Chain A
């Protein structure tokens, strides 16, 4: 087991915030690229972590030993993205204390990239995002999406080709 998984197995409540710190940014930005919407990506990120916490709470030692954290968390996130299951009315809602409130974090060419990713089919979009935004390996992507490695490679390849074509046409 890696250091974080060991810590989660030893004291879930204490270690879980570290998991959120480590995986949160790439989870959010991966989902953000996949769905193209800040609010939805934020909801999905929170929901994914909450589901992950509940699942880990019931894990025994062996399940922790077999756990591959990143692909496992992404399996949860991708399933949620498909089902949109929410039960937000049953939990407390964070109140922003700062003045600026919650804004869509702005990146250069944000809208242009949203449009390009939206033009890809779902499998290609998921594969490209998991490989190049999130930084998962081919094997990990195959695990989280439940698709064979060869198919994942082909999806990434075709997805990148489409993105290149779109950028060429924009010039």
Chain B
């Protein structure tokens, strides 16, 4: 055999793992890994741009992902540059330093989700508040459907967004009882919230400071119970001579 032929024979198949590495590195496929959360084991998917989705670790999450996002999933480790921020973001209920990839939703929905990510742990805000913060006061309904499509629940805390009448409302990650569980875990009392909603209490004021807040705002919760008065709307509070809290911007 001449040398040219011998050299030609020095090849074989593509070693295992390279095509998966390419699919992950280009972002043609997303990687996935499992994490613990307050509501049990969850699957987090990611690509070079950031975390792209989070769902409960059900048996068919791969099929669900392919159906919802039209992309392939490969078991992987998250990029080491930010993998350490994933458990932190799940626990804190906000992305913090973790990059998130929201390319599966529209620019308006991205804006709404970024605003939702600023709601502090233990507090809730109604749909209408997010619409106002996004300078689209009439878009409360669009906010509701954005929450339903949130690709990264827990990390983007749509569980801290409640219906405009103050009731807890629906939840995309496994239903309303999970939302209830999460709010309890974070120290926002769902029983109290439902009670206030039933009595049409939307905001509460402090009679000594004359400032009114969302009922879960840390400012009003620090007030003496005797100093707290209830209002059916922000307008009613303003008419009574109260001004809006700078922290929760009711």
Q: Give the B-binding residues of A (Cβ under 8 A).
A: 13, 16-17, 20-21, 24-26, 28-29, 33, 38, 42, 45-47, 49-50, 53-54, 88-98, 102-103, 105, 107, 113, 128, 132-133, 135, 160, 163-164, 167
Contact = CB atoms under 8 A, between A and B. Distances in A.
B25 interface: yes
25 contacts: A24-B18, A24-B19, A25-B13, A28-B18, A29-B10, A29-B11, A42-B21, A46-B21, A46-B22, A50-B26, A89-B80, A90-B48, A90-B79, A91-B24, A91-B79, A92-B24, A92-B30, A93-B31, A94-B74, A94-B75, A95-B76, A97-B75, A102-B15, A133-B8, A160-B3
Contacts of B25: 46-47, 49-50, 91-92
Nearest to A156: B4
Interface of B: 3-4, 7-8, 10-26, 28, 30-31, 33, 46-48, 74-81
Contact of A163 (B3, B11, B48, B81): B3
Contacts of A163: 3, 7
Given A91-B25, A92-B31, A94-B74, A46 B18 contact: yes
Contacts, number: 122
Given A92-B30, A164-B3, 9 more contacts: A28-B18, A46-B22, A53-B26, A89-B81, A91-B47, A93-B24, A102-B17, A132-B8, A133-B8
